[in-house]
Amino acid sequence: MHQPPLSHLEGTDPEIAALVESEARRQFEKLRMIPSENYVSMAVLEASGSVLTNKYSEGYAGRRYYEGQQFIDPIELVAIQRAKDLFGVDHANVQPYSGSPANLAVYLAFASPGDTVMGMALPMGGHLTHGWAVSVTGKWFRSVQYGVRADTGRIDLDEVRDLALKERPKIIFCGGTAIPRVIDFAGFAQIASEAGALLVADIAHIAGLIAGGAHPSPAGHANVITTTTHKTLRGPRGAMIMTDAEHASAIDKAVFPGLQGGPHDHTTAAIAVTLKEAATPEFGEYAHRVVANSRALAAALTERGYSLISGGSDNHLILIDLTPQEIAGKPAARALDRAGIEVNYNTVPFDTRRPFDPSGIRIGTPAITTRGLTPGHMPQVAAWMDEAISAAIKDDEATIGRIAGAVRDLLTGFPMPGYAPTP
């Protein structure tokens, strides 16, 4: 049953209540391995579902356009202070609605349409908003894109430097959505300085690992740091922009009134709670366990003959090219989902297939680590994945169903916040 129980929702709208209940159960019964997802704590859930959703607060603390901010201002100021303390930055804006608006605010603050910008290409592991052609950031700006080396699957900073010095972008983005290795923020900062560019580190995927000391920090290297709050950081759906004193005012003006209206105060409160949780020693242990699980899973999959981009994982994420298995990413991801293992199909660098039907799958360990799985479980997880993919190739639905049952049985012993099985 959903926790807390959905009694009012059931009374008002049983159709939606039943769907939410089913989703809670689905999250309990599956190995959730989409690397950008997690399970938030009950405290974060309560803050997200609080009466703060009733309030409008356009502006910033002490400078709002609506009355009644006696309790909203301190909530936002607490969130800001916690972000500054946790990430060691001068300034934090906690109002962006999510990662894409946060990145758009950076463009609005520091570039004009037609300017040259640079980021990692989406199929190489970047993000839509780092200048990919179909995004507004690729349409309104002159975007140049870097990738990874074909032989290593890793970013080559010499290639990035050559491109940056040739193209002289105004902004360079580092970070992305499918990068299984440590990002060299100091190296990117050196290149940005040589090219006269502003360096933006998009740490959406790894913010929790940075907060927990399991990945180097971009603080002191990047001029601007953007992040979502709901991936490894384990908070509500939201985002933050962190920066130094020099760039603070431009960022604040770009978020409001440049791009957004009123902040989502219930999300701000939940971000504050998240940042408090992320500052604890327990969260640091969690962040290190996420990486240990990812490394153990990468090793077990490699042993089973899977081709991992870059040959492994330093963080929470593994990108697999399924070409040698002779199955595409989409049918593999769908079979894994039927087997109780939720992943997403993904392009791999130099993919010869289309983005909607690519060659790879992307998997990650943030959510299963929150459930309590350890490196000792990873050989079994790899075995189930391998069995399910092999079964998909042979149309063996019986095996896929058996794995789903085994996954359900295993997860019965690992509680999740927000759902408790009925006895």
Site string for ligand DSN, 358-387 (x = CB under 6 A): ------------------------------
Taking the C-alpha atoms of residue 205 and residue 229, their distance in angstroms, rounded to an integer, is 9
> Closest CB to ligand DSN belongs to which residue?
36
Taking the C-alpha atoms of residue 33 and residue 301, their distance in angstroms, rounded to an integer, is 14
**Residues 17, 21, 27, CA angle at the centre, nearest 5°?**
145
Quick one: 99 or 123, whose CB is closer to ligand DSN? 99
Quick one: 179 or 248, whose CB is closer to ligand DSN? 179
Q: Which of 311, 323, 322, 292 is nearest to 385 (CA)?
A: 322
Quick one: 189 or 341, whose CB is closer to ligand DSN? 341
CB of 208 to ligand DSN, least distance (A): 14
CB of 135 to ligand DSN, least distance (A): 11
Quick one: 101 or 263, whose CB is closer to ligand DSN? 101
Catalytic residues: 56, 58, 202, 228, 231, 237
Which residues lie below 8 Å from residue 289, measured CB to CB, with a gap of 6+? 369, 374
Regarding 315 and contact with ligand DSN (CB under 6 A), the answer is: no
Contact (CB, 8 A) for 146 and 173: no
CB of 376 to ligand DSN, least distance (A): 27
Q: Which helix (H) or strand (E) holds 146?
A: strand 142-146
Q: Which of 129, 106, 177 is nearest to 319 (CA)?
A: 177
Q: What is the distance of C-alpha 277 from the center of its chain?
A: 18
Taking the C-alpha atoms of residue 313 and residue 304, their distance in angstroms, rounded to an integer, is 16
- Number of amino acids touching ligand DSN (CB under 6 A): 4
Quick one: 130 or 264, whose CB is closer to ligand DSN? 130
From candidates 29, 31, 36, 124, binder to ligand DSN by CB under 6 A: 36
From candidates 87, 92, 99, 105, binder to ligand DSN by CB under 6 A: 99
Regarding 177 and contact with ligand DSN (CB under 6 A), the answer is: yes
Cα 251 to Cα 235, 352, 360, 395: the distances in Å are: 22, 39, 36, 52
CB of 177 to ligand DSN, least distance (A): 4
> What is the footprint of ligand DSN within residues 100-119 (CB under 6 A)?
none
CB of 422 to ligand DSN, least distance (A): 32
What are the DSSP E strand ranges found in 203-303?
224-228, 239-243
Taking the C-alpha atoms of residue 13 and residue 157, their distance in angstroms, rounded to an integer, is 54
Site string for ligand DSN, 240-279 (x = CB under 6 A): ----------------------------------------
CB of 56 to ligand DSN, least distance (A): 27
Contact (CB, 8 A) for 345 and 332: yes
Residues that bind ligand DSN (CB under 6 A): 36, 99, 127, 177
